[in-house]
Structure 1
């Protein structure tokens, strides 16, 4: 195929110790036989604080590159030994990818770039352009479309992480939806029958590795992938089935969720983004006529049953050890 990028063989990961970066790194390590080299770029501070964990990675054959992501010389030097960059930088520093992309574009060895796009589709429909949580990612997409000509960029859109949705929200934030295993209490969003497409955090890594192994001539390539589609009521039913217990259930209607969202932004609450994203999901902002898993080999993904089982095990273990 014309202008098809080579299959990535030397992969450098940014944000490897973050929320989703750890799962991406685990998936790369699990499939490291498919790659010639896997490395992570980390700051001097992280290298010092997490020396033990980094030593374990080195023992597994993972390269650890220490540098400052804001210093061009450090980044450019790191890029020389790799052909692919995968970013898992967090929401607060998402625009730091713009200089990374610029440097990668001018580095001959780099042919493939995966920006940190995991999560809600930021161009689902016309209203997406005005959603506050989307603005920084939209800047990155614009930079890719306007300025990145040589690199092949893939945007892996996964929808919400089921691990974080199928769990407990604390305090007032519980009105944004919660499944409290210890208290056997759930607050469901919308009607309870609104469909949401989720991706487990482990599957984000698995799907990304599958995409890496599937070359493309398109840039930016947008892959809309997920693990399963379900509803709050179906999630609750699975919790009831596996826990064998009666649950106290209430609902936060979509109109109420919108009011809470507006109030949170007015107060500049740190959870305002949570309200907005969960409102988008409840409105159907993760649903497509078909998903793109098949374009990358249809890798096996986790099920709702498996996710609920993990949630029960995790929270049970936590409160039994006094962590909750």
Structure 2
């Protein structure tokens, strides 16, 4: 690893237009005065299909590098005059990062790599190594730790406190039994007895906290930063939704952790695409996001994050848009 820590100045972002990647990119752009260069690596198809976002980035002075993320030569060219790589790719592209890391380690200019973590801590406990959704991220962490010339930061956030479809504060893609909050129908399914604590981070805060990690290079160097917006329970989330939607009680049902585990097992056996969500919900219900302390303080991120009230208000806007 490098002997000294230089502040990141020249950034390259993979997955910049995705669900969480767009939030990360916007947060970086909002702090562009802190950096000398901001570039994104994207496909020609994304440039065509997400033209409005791309045009906004260009207007903010962001460089758009088009190429094939699976082509080593394209990636090596993109690394030219870059010191920090930030990945925000989705689960379908997680393993692709192993090659990006190898190429970054060979580039004398690239100093640090932020892999696409932004979720459950994949090294939370002894059971974590066997969890199916963790396997590709485990390979990525191993590749980074094997690098000889590359520092890293793993930004561990827990589930997203947002109302987009399939997210914790939204309607459930895996069915109501996996837990959901439905604003339009004023109904919710709570996990366990509703009093299980879960650590959450809004996607906007993922962006803010990543920027703070960039601006605190020594404090975030070679660490798994466990950050969040707040810790709460399903009952407290429901209470806030009820309060912000007129004060009337919602229709409520419950899914026990045992039933959640049964649904998880069946989903994997049947090969359904949402099996991962069942596993993650079970991990969260079992306390897999709770830590002795959070690391917000290391990067001056204690007072800048959203509250439960903020998250619910934004989720209501998303669901009723």
TM-score by length of 2: 0.95
| CA deviation after TM superposition for structure 1 residue 312, in Å | 1.8
Match of 1:99 in 2: 99
* 1:241-256 correspondence runs (5 A): 241-243=243-245, 244-256=247-259
Match of 1:321 in 2: none
Question: Counterparts of 1:198 and 1:27 in 2: how far apart (Å)?
Answer: 18
Question: Counterparts of 1:277 and 1:74 in 2: how far apart (Å)?
Answer: 34
* 1:107-122 correspondence runs (5 A): 107-122=107-122
Answer yes or no: is the 8 Å Cα contact 1:152–1:216 preserved in 2.
no
| CA deviation after TM superposition for structure 1 residue 92, in Å | 1.1
| CA deviation after TM superposition for structure 1 residue 217, in Å | 7.7
Q: What do the CA deviations read for 1:134-183 (whole angstroms, capped 9, x no partner)?
A: 000001111112x212111111101111112111125x611100111111
Match of 2:44 in 1: 44
Match of 2:231 in 1: 229
Answer yes or no: is the 8 Å Cα contact 1:196–1:230 preserved in 2.
yes
Answer yes or no: is the 8 Å Cα contact 1:192–1:233 preserved in 2.
yes
Question: Counterparts of 1:217 and 1:270 in 2: how far apart (Å)?
Answer: 38
Match of 1:220 in 2: 222
Answer yes or no: is the 8 Å Cα contact 2:82–2:109 preserved in 1.
yes
| CA deviation after TM superposition for structure 1 residue 313, in Å | 2.3
* 1:1-16 correspondence runs (5 A): 3-16=3-16
Answer yes or no: is the 8 Å Cα contact 2:219–2:299 preserved in 1.
no
Aligned residue-pair number: 314
1:143 aligns with 2:129: no
Change (3 A) 1:218 1:8: closer
* 1:174-185 correspondence runs (5 A): 174-185=176-187
Match of 1:30 in 2: 30
Answer yes or no: is the 8 Å Cα contact 1:152–1:218 preserved in 2.
no
Match of 1:124 in 2: 124
Moved more, 261-270 or 48-57: 48-57
Moved more, 267-276 or 296-305: 296-305
Question: Counterparts of 1:139 and 1:38 in 2: how far apart (Å)?
Answer: 27
**Can you give the 5+ residue segments of structure 2 that lack an aligned partner in the other structure?**
none
**Can you give the 5+ residue segments of structure 1 that lack an aligned partner in the other structure?**
319-324
Match of 2:242 in 1: 240
Match of 1:194 in 2: 196
TM-score by length of 1: 0.94
Moved more, 273-282 or 213-222: 213-222
Answer yes or no: is the 8 Å Cα contact 1:4–1:217 preserved in 2.
no
| CA deviation after TM superposition for structure 1 residue 252, in Å | 0.2
Question: Counterparts of 1:217 and 1:56 in 2: how far apart (Å)?
Answer: 32
Change (3 A) 1:63 1:270: same
Question: Counterparts of 1:286 and 1:92 in 2: how far apart (Å)?
Answer: 23
| CA deviation after TM superposition for structure 1 residue 65, in Å | 0.5
| CA deviation after TM superposition for structure 1 residue 218, in Å | 7.5
1:258 aligns with 2:257: no
Question: Counterparts of 2:24 and 2:113 in 1: how far apart (Å)?
Answer: 14
Match of 1:303 in 2: 307
Answer yes or no: is the 8 Å Cα contact 2:220–2:299 preserved in 1.
no
Question: Counterparts of 2:115 and 2:150 in 1: how far apart (Å)?
Answer: 12
Question: Counterparts of 2:238 and 2:62 in 1: how far apart (Å)?
Answer: 40
Answer yes or no: is the 8 Å Cα contact 1:120–1:158 preserved in 2.
yes
Partner SS for 2:252: strand
| CA deviation after TM superposition for structure 1 residue 99, in Å | 0.8
Question: Counterparts of 1:31 and 1:69 in 2: how far apart (Å)?
Answer: 26
Moved more, 305-314 or 284-293: 305-314
Partner SS for 2:175: helix
Q: What do the CA deviations read for 1:62-88 (whole angstroms, capped 9, x no partner)?
A: 110111111111111111121110000
| CA deviation after TM superposition for structure 1 residue 19, in Å | 1.3
Match of 1:155 in 2: 154
| CA deviation after TM superposition for structure 1 residue 210, in Å | 0.1
Change (3 A) 1:218 1:201: closer
